[in-house]
Amino acid sequence: MTTSATSATSAANRNYNLFLLVVAGLGGLLYGIDVGIIGGALPYLEATSRLTPAQLSVIVAAVLLGSVISTLFAGLLADWLGRKNLMVLSGLLFVISIPIIALSHGYAPLFFGRLLQGISGGLIGVVVPLYLAECLPASNRGKGTGIFQWMLTFGLVVAALVGVYYSYRVASVAQLADASALLDFKNQAWRRIFWVSLPPGILFMLGSFFVTESPRWLFRRGKKLQAHAALLHSRTPEQADSEISEMQEAINVSMAHVPLGSKMKSSLLRRKYVVPFVLACVILSCNTATGINSIIPYNASILMQSGLSDLYAHWGFVIFDSVNFLVTMIGVTLVDIKGRKFLLTIGTSGIIISLVTVGILFLRTEKVAIDAQSQVQSLITADQSLTLHFDKAEAAKLLAAAGPEGSRIDAGRASFAVIYAYGDFTAATSYVRSDDAAAAPLEISRENCVPANKVESFFKNPFADLKAAQTAPLRIIKAPVSQVPDSHHGWIVAIFLYMFMASFAIGPGVCVWLALSELMPTRIRSNGMSIALVLNQLVSTILAGIFLPFVSKYGYSSMFFLFSSFTVVYFITAVFFLPETKGKTLEEIEAHFEGGAA
C-alpha cells in the first residue's frame, strides 16, 4: 500500500471512529436525559398533578422500572437483532415516549410514557457500551466508552439548565400573576421540559442507521467477511487481519477446553465465565446503591430541605450536574492512563466520605424537631381524610401546641411531613416548607394510601388485610415539624454533594460501563451484561421508589448513611477483587480469567 493510500485509510478510520463516538455520545445524552429530566420537572409536576408522594415516587422510578424490563431482554435482542438494529429501536422508543408524557393527563399515561422512556434507556445502557467495546481498538476503548458516560453527564446538565430556566420563569410569573395563573404556568412548565428532550432522540435514531454492525457479532454468526469489512472502517487492514485471527483463536481455545457433547453446560460454569460475571454483578449493583439515581432526581428537593431557596436549589442542581460533566472529562482522559482499578478506588473512597458527612449534617438539623401527631390527628374530618395547607400560620399553631420545645423552631422556616395509615397500609407525604407560598396543600385520603385491588395490595404489603383497610379510620403515625436550616447550612450540604458527584464521576461513573463490557467474555457478553444491568436497575428502582416515604419517616440522614454502607462494599470489591483491564484486548481479558491471576 502506498503512503498516500495509507494516509487516506488512516484519515477514513479516524473520521469513522469519530462518527462512532458522536452516535454513542448521543446515546449517552439520551440516557442522561432519561435520569435527569424529571429533576427539573418534578416540583411543578408535584404542584399541579395532584399525585400522591407514593405515585410521584413511582413516576420517578418508572424510568428505572422500564430499564429493568428492557435490560432483562436487551442481551437476547442484541444477539437476535444485532447491535445496530437495537440502537435504532431504542432511539425510536425514546422519540415515541416524549409526546406520551408531555400530553398526558393523569397518572396512567404519565406512568406509561415514563416506563417507555425507561425501556429505551435500558436498551441504550446495554447496547451502546456493548457496541463500543466490540468496535473500538483496545488502545482507546476506555476513552471511547467514557465518552458515553461523559455525554450522559451532559444530558444531566442540559436537563438541569432547562429546570433552572423554568424556575426563573415560574418566579417571574409568581410576581405578576395570581395563584390560578401560576398554577397553570407550572402545569405547562413540566410538559415543556419534556418536549426539550425530543431532538437528541431523533438525532440518535438517525445516526444509528449509518454505523456498521459490530464485527464480533458478525463473526460469531459466521459472517467472517462482513466482520472483516466492518473492522476496516475503524482499523488498518493489518489490524483487521490481526483481530480476526484473535477472534478465531479465542473460539478455538474455548472449544479445545470442553469435552464434546457437554459444551454448553460445562463451559458456562468455568472460571472464565463465572468470576467476571459475579464481579460485574457486584459492581453494577453497588454502583447504583451509592444513591446516584436517587440523589440526581431528588437533588433540588434535598437542597431545599437543607436550607436553600427554590431558585438557589435549582442553581445548586446545575452546579451539581456541571461538576459531574467536568470531572467526567478528567476521568475519560485518565482511564486509559491510570487504569480502571485506581479510579474506582479513589472514587468510592470520596463517595463514602461525602455521604457520611451529608448524613451527619442532616442528622444535626433533624434532631431539632417536634412530633405534631396528636394535633394533626385532631384535624381529621368525618370522612377520614385531611387537607392541610402548611404555611407560617399553620406552623405557628402546631409549634405553639407543642409547648417549650416548639419555640425552638421558627414558624417562618419550618418543614413538615405526615406519616399515616389506614389499617395495615402506611403512606407518607413529601416534605413541605412554611416559607413556600406556592406549595400545594397536603392531601391525605384513603385513595392515596390503600391499594385499589388485591394485586396492588400484595406488592405493597402481602400480609395486609385489604378489606379491613378499606373501612379503617385514618391514623396519624408521625407528623414531624422541623427547622429548615439557613442558606449557609444548605451550601455546606451542597458542597459535599458536589464532592459526592465528583468522586462518582471520576471513578464509578467512567469505569462502570467499562467494567460491564470488558469483564464479560465474548460468548456471554450480551446476556451477561443484561443480567448485571437488571440487578443494577432493580436496586436503583427500589431505592428511588422508597426514597420519599423513607425520608419522610426516618429523615434524609438515614438514607445517606444507608447509601454509604453500600459504597463500603463497592470499595472492598474494587480494591481487593477487581483486575486491571487497561490496554488489554477483550480476548486477553478473557484469557486472564481462564488462567487465574495474571
Distance of alpha carbon 423 from alpha carbon 534, whole angstroms: 34
Same domain, 126 and 272: yes
Calculate the average pLDDT of the chain. 79
Q: Is the pLDDT of residue 103 over 50?
A: yes
- Straight-line distance from the first to the last Cα atom of the chain, in angstroms, rounded to the nearest whole number: 38
Helix (H, G, I), strand (E, B) or coil at 511: helix
Name which residue leads in pLDDT, 105 or 310. 105
Cα–Cα distance list, 372 to 347, 400, 548 (Å): 41, 10, 19
Instruction: Tell me the pLDDT band of 265, cut-offs 50, 70 and 90.
Output: very low
Q: Which residues contact 357 (CB under 8 A, 6 or more apart)?
A: 496
Asked whether 399 and 375 are in contact (CB, 8 A), the reply is no
Residue with cell 416524549: 98
Same domain, 392 and 539: no
Beta strands 386-388 and 369-371: pairing type? unpaired
Instruction: Please check whether residues 334 and 435 belong to one and the same domain.
Output: no
Tell me, yes or no, whether 552 lies in a domain: yes
Report yes or no on 46 lying in a domain. Answer: yes
Taking CA atoms, 200 is separated from 51, 389, 479, in Å, by 29, 40, 44
Written as nine digits, the cell of 145 is 466508552
Do residues 272 and 172 both lie within one domain?
yes
Burial of 252 per CB tally in 10 Å (0-12, 13-18, 19+): exposed
**pLDDT over 80 at 205, yes or no:** yes
Q: pTM for the full model? A: 0.66
What total number of domains does the chain contain? 2
d(C-alpha 31, C-alpha 153), whole Å: 9
Q: What are the pLDDT digits (tens) for 223-254?
A: 888 888 888 887 778 877 887 887 777 677 65
Q: What is the tens place of the pLDDT at every residue in 397-432?
A: 888 887 777 778 888 888 888 888 898 888 877 778
What is the CB-side half-sphere exposure of residue 25 using CA atoms within 13 A? 15
Residue 504 lies in a domain: yes
Radius of gyration of the chain (CA): 26
In a domain, 269, yes or no: yes
CB half-sphere exposure, 135, CA atoms < 13 A: 27
Which whole number is the average pLDDT over 44-50?
76
Q: 101 — phi, psi (to 5°)?
A: -70, -50
Are 536 and 435 in the same domain? no
| Model pLDDT, residue 255 | 62
Residue type, 367: K
Check whether 496 has a pLDDT greater than 90. Answer: yes
Contact 159, 297 (CB under 8 A): no
Q: Quick one: 495 and 474 in the same domain?
A: no
> Cell numbers 440516557 correspond to what residue?
31
Predicted local distance difference test score (pLDDT) of residue 294:
80
Nearest 5°: the CA angle 529, 157, 280 is 15
Percentage of the chain with pLDDT > 90?
9
344 with 412, same domain: the answer is no
- Strands 369-371, 480-483: pairing is antiparallel
Among 478, 503, 538, identify where a domain stops: 478
Of 55-69, 323-337, 565-579, the one with minimum mean pLDDT is 55-69
Q: Is 84 part of a structural domain of the chain?
A: yes
Last residue of a domain, one of 478, 510, 534: 478
Q: Coil, helix or strand for 370?
A: strand
Contact in structure between 399 and 406 (CB atoms under 8 Å): yes
584 versus 85: the higher-pLDDT residue is 85
Cα 518–524–530 angle (5° rounding)?
A: 80
Residues 388 and 527 in one domain: no
Three-class SS state of 443: strand
d(CA 573, CA 341): 10
| In the predicted structure, residue 8 carries a pLDDT above the cut 70 | no
- Per-residue b/e over 500-517, b at no fewer than 16 CB within 10 Å? bbbbbbbbbbbbbbbbbb
Domain extent at residue 530: 7-211+257-362+489-595
Instruction: Measure the CA–CA gap between 546 and 557, rounded to whole angstroms.
Output: 15
pLDDT at 349 over 90: yes
**574: Cβ contacts below 8 Å, ≥ 6 apart:** 283, 341, 344, 345, 348, 507
- Identify whether the C-beta of residue 510 lies closer than 8 Å to the C-beta of residue 331: yes
Query: Is residue 350 over pLDDT 90?
Result: yes
Q: Which residues contact 364 (CB under 8 A, 6 or more apart)?
A: none
Distance CA 376, CA 387 (A): 10
Overall residue count recorded for the chain in this entry: 598
- The more confident residue out of 516 and 193 is 193
> Which residue intervals of 233-270 are DSSP H helices?
237-256, 263-267
pLDDT band at 271 (very low <50, low <70, confident <90, very high): low
Q: Are 27 and 149 in a shared domain?
A: yes
* β-pair type (419-422, 386-388): unpaired
Cell of 133: 467495546
Task: Answer yes or no: is 147 within a domain.
Answer: yes
Place of cell 468455568: 270
User: What is the rounded average pLDDT of the residues 257-283?
Assistant: 64
**Are 293 and 441 within one domain?**
no
d(CA 458, CA 461): 5
* Close Cβ partners of 458 (under 8 Å, ≥ 6 residues apart): none
Contact 110, 101 (CB under 8 A): yes
Q: Which of 445, 478, 511 is the last residue of a domain?
A: 478
Half-sphere exposure of 266 (CA within 13 A, CB side): 10
- pLDDT score of 21: 79
Verify that 19 and 126 share a domain, yes or no: yes
Please check whether residues 47 and 160 belong to one and the same domain.
yes
**What is the mean predicted confidence (pLDDT) over 441-452?**
83
Domain holding 317: CATH number?
Answer: 1.20.1250.20
Task: Give the DSSP letter of residue 380.
Answer: -
Question: Judging by beta carbons within 10 Å of its beta carbon (0-12, 13-18, 19+), is residue 377 exposed, middle or buried?
Answer: middle
Where helices occur in 307-339 by DSSP H, the ranges are: 310-334
Position 588 in a domain: yes
Using 50, 70 and 90 to split pLDDT, how confident is the model at 352?
very high
CA 3 from chain center: how many Å? 48
378 or 537, greater pLDDT: 378
Of 126-135, 149-158, 163-172, 501-510, which one has max mean pLDDT?
501-510
In this structure, what C-alpha cell is assigned to residue 33?
A: 436525559
Of 3-12, 237-246, 318-327, 476-485, the one with minimum mean pLDDT is 3-12
For the residues 373-394, what does the mean pLDDT come to? 88
CB-CB contact of 510 with 149 (8 Å): yes
| Domain assignment of residue 221, yes or no | no
Three-state SS at 326: helix
Rounded Cα gap, residues 34 and 60, in angstroms: 10
CA 498 to chain centre: 17
The predicted pLDDT at position 355 comes to 94
For residue 446, how far is the Cα from the chain centroid? 31
Distance CA 506, CA 597 (A): 27
**Closest to 90 (Cα-Cα) out of 174, 209, 187:** 209
